Structure 1
Amino acid sequence: MVDRTELRTDLADESAQVDALVTALPPGDWARPTPAPGWTVAHQIAHLAWTDHVALLAATDPGAFVATVTSAPDPARLVDAGAEEFLAPPAELLARWRAGRAALADALAAVPTGEQLPWYGTRMSAASMTTARLMETWAHGEDVADALGVTRAPTARLRHVVHLGFRTLGHGFAAHGHAVPTASVRVEVTAPGGGVWAHGPADAADRVTGPALDLCLLVTQRRHRADLDLVATGPVADAWLDVAQAFAGPPGPGRGPAGAPTGAARPGTTGPGAARRGVAA
């Protein structure tokens, strides 16, 4: 049984860590480019604020949430437009994000167990929505950290990203137009504090092993598999590392190998800018 209170606490802590990266930034540093082409540090925080806003609508007013999708002038630019809409001077943007994520936490706490919330191309429980928000907050926090030249120490909160990455294995194949494999995959990754986080049957022939941080970077498309210390055994596990994505929606080009041009696509992937940024949209 998922502990929803623990999930919300971990989301709050993850948000606070990203908040700490930007709270004392000089105004000029908010304009620094991040690894997502065309997005500055301000865009990254504006995106988190916008996504919290639409998640709040999904939790409190599903009809209004659906209207934001059906009324979008250009669905392919929904995410980019949302970030642009929420851009503001740093102090105002930071206050908006803080208020929005607090409101969302309260709303998710009030969602009855078992209720499914509308989302982009799917429906999600409150626990899944909280996990997705944590995954996205961490991933966009990585973009901000990269822009600022900061290396963040991985935390035990990554277990949620690992879990979501494993749960979305089939979606990664489907999103790329491939048949969803029937073979089971075993994931065994080394947790930041030691120990192993494991998912899937222990006797599965297909396996993925390596550091938990590396798997999280892969499933959020923050690094190319060639730059990560992940080992795939078996054809399904190997194929998964080329299509993995923990976010809903169409696939993005992902990040190219180190040294490749910024935004370089992985072989065989396509997708709009929204997915390119690895968002849970």
Structure 2
Amino acid sequence: MKAICADLAWEQDTLDALVSGLAPDQWQLLAPCGRWTVKDEICHLAYFDHTARLAATDPEAFQRHLIEDLGRIKNMDEATEITLAKGRAMSIGDLLAWWRGERRQLVDALVRLDPKDRLPWYGPPMSARSFASARLMETWAHGQDIYDALAIERPVSPGLRHIAHLGVTTFGWSFANRGMAVPETPVRVELAAPSGEIWTWGDAAASQCISGPVVDFCQVVIQRRHVDDTALVVVGDVARQWMAVAQCFAGPPTLGPAPGTRVIQKHHT
């Protein structure tokens, strides 16, 4: 837990360092999806770091939250409004203070847990290890929106292997969540780490394979890039179908960007 929590804290602190230096007008920039501002992205992270902290420290309070806050939600639009409302009403300074407090308490709680401890969440309970991985993935994903809105290069995350692993292990979920039969055909995944090391998952003898940069794979499974806009090499019909529906986060099925719609021309900071 110490390693993954250190990677989670690094991701949070690095994103904090970026947004803390933004001008007021930059907080209102729209992410490429065109729905949320930079401020909304941080509102979202702060809200769910808060509820994650409840799940990790006070499961009864988390269950009350499910009833009191989310029990009245009728659709996803209402859910979005409720989860963003508190942060949107805050000044930038107050929002950052809220996010910092919640995420630090969350990491402090997670690092003390056994990796196999079960924590309540919005779907089935999760192991502490998976829970921390999911918070890392969520921070990286919404951080990607912010880096894209600013059109700047992002630093290499030390937590990419955790995100990629989550992407691989949600293979079945990505199909089942859409009411689709989960393919029985194995798919090998071979990803190039920033260090040049090759990270692998699955049977080396599998005829279907996905290979390429780990960053590209992570961007596809968090639905921030279409596979055709990456350097991934996809071999086989099942592998291709997976990349079309990949979703490594909980919630109802959503579609990633269409080809060519999130190709960001970036500049260096």
Q: Fold match, TM over 0.5?
A: yes
Q: Does 1:144 align with 2:146?
A: yes
Which blocks of at least 5 consecutive residues in structure 1 are unaligned?
261-281
Q: Which residue of 1 aligns with 2:38?
A: 41
* Identity across matched positions, percent: 45
> Aligned partners of 1:210 and 1:79: how far apart in 2?
34
| In 1: Cα distance, 2:200 partner to 2:27 partner | 38
What is residue 127 of structure 1 aligned with on the other side?
A: 129
1:248-263 paired onto structure 2 within 5 Å: 248-259=250-261
Instruction: Tell me by how many angstroms 1:233 deviates.
Output: 1.6
Report if aligned partners of 2:11, 2:157 keep a CA contact under 8 Å in 1.
no
8 Å CA contact 1:187, 1:198 repeated in 2: yes
Alpha carbon RMSD of aligned pairs, Å? 1.6
Contact 2:116 2:129 in 1 (8 A): no
Q: Is the 8 A contact 1:156 1:193 kept in 2?
A: no
Q: Any residues of structure 2 matched to 1:155-170 within 5 Å, and which?
A: 155-170=157-172
Match of 2:79 in 1: 78
SS in 1 for 2:61: helix
Between 117-126 and 161-170, report the one with greater CA deviation: 117-126
| Equivalent residues in 2 for 1:186-197, closer than 5 Å | 186-197=188-199
SS in 2 for 1:188: strand
The C-alpha deviation readout for 1:207-250, integer Å capped at 9, x for no partner, is 11111111010000001122112122222211101110110121
| CA displacement 1:134-155 (0-9 Å, x = unmatched) | 1111111111111112111333
User: Residue in 1 aligned with 2:16?
Assistant: 19
Equivalent position amino acid for 1:174 in 2: A
The amino acid that maps onto 1:81 is: I
The 1-side partners of 2:261 and 2:47 are apart by: 32
The 3-state SS of whatever aligns with 2:111 is helix
Report the equivalent of 1:63. 60
User: Residues 19, 148 of structure 1: CA spacing in aligned structure 2 closer, same or farther, 3 A cutoff?
Assistant: same
Change (3 A) 1:80 1:194: farther
Q: What does residue 52 of structure 1 align with?
A: 49
Mean Cα deviation higher: 164-173 or 194-203: 194-203
**SS in structure 2 of the partner of residue 153 of structure 1:** coil
SS at match of 1:189: strand
| Deviation, structure 1 residue 176 | 1.6
Matches of 1:186 and 1:231, distance apart in 2: 12
Query: Could you give the per-residue CA deviations for residues 168-207 of structure 1, whole angstroms, max 9, x where no partner exists?
Result: 1110011122111222221001112212111111112221
- State the match for 2:118 in structure 1: 116
Q: CA deviation at 1:79?
A: 3.9
How many residues were matched structurally? 257
Alpha-carbon contact 2:211-2:232 (below 8 Å) kept? yes
Q: Structure 2 length as normaliser, TM-score?
A: 0.90
Distance 1:258 1:81 in 2: 32
Aligned residue in 2 for 1:263: none
SS at match of 1:186: strand
Rounded to whole Å, the distance in 2 between the matches of 1:227 and 1:176 is 23
